[in-house]
Structure 1
């Protein structure tokens, strides 16, 4: 039976990416499949795999078709998490595709991979 696994991010510095993403999302490194070119990060509560980090020489895409959305429940949480992520090594991108009154802020991890921090309190309701 086909199942969806977990997202994998291409990175140029695997140890740096492990340090950033484990701190950013309270994940833990899983030694089971660890290699110089691969790390699996698990949820700290033991509920399973969360993220894969794979060495890649491919250039970062400015406008990736697939990216991570990290979500919070309030604007205050969004602001605090953005500050925390920047302290961990993320950068705020000069994003030229924001809609009017966006519910998200675009950051990049230390490898330059874009991701969003979304405030669910102002996200459009369906």
Structure 2
């Protein structure tokens, strides 16, 4: 039986990306980061790993794979979006939003897109 061990994202600056995602998720490096690679793990040991690898490929405007970060409700979602923006994320002017979205699209410090989801949205 297989299981997901790590989600891997390409970045142009491993240390900058690691600083953002450790603050965003409360993760810690599994070992000392290298210039071209770091594996971040949940501080409490529960959850997926996030691996960040040096990449020279451009960020995709419409990525086929991305992270969904779950918030408890709409207020939590709004607070988390503001917290992530204060850490260096930016809002994405997403032209594919549905009529009443349960998600907000952001980009991390490297331009990688991710969503913050209101899990109580009907």
If the TM-score is normalised by the length of the shorter chain, which range does it land in?
Answer: over 0.9
**Superposition pairs of residues 34-113 of structure 1, within 5 angstroms:** 34-47=33-46, 50-113=49-112
Unaligned runs of 5+ in 2: none
Q: Deviations over 1:44-72 (max 9, x none)?
A: 01236520000000000000010000001
Distance 1:76 1:49, change over 3 A: closer
Instruction: List structure 1 segments (4+ residues) > 4 angstroms apart after TM superposition.
Output: none
Q: Which runs of 5 or more residues in structure 1 are unaligned?
A: none
* Contact 2:4–2:48 (CA under 8 A) maintained in structure 1: no
State how far apart, in whole Å, the 1-side matches of 2:40 and 2:52 are. Answer: 8
Could you tell me how far apart the structure 1 residues matched to 2:47 and 2:98 are? 35
Which has the larger displacement, 43-52 or 21-30?
43-52
- 2:29 pairs with 1:29: yes
Q: Calculate the aligned-residue CA RMSD, in Å.
A: 1.4
TM-score of the superposed pair, with normalisation by structure 1: 0.91
Q: Could you tell me whether the CA contact under 8 Å between 1:7 and 1:50 is conserved in 2?
A: yes
Tell me the secondary structure at the aligned position of residue 24 of structure 2.
helix
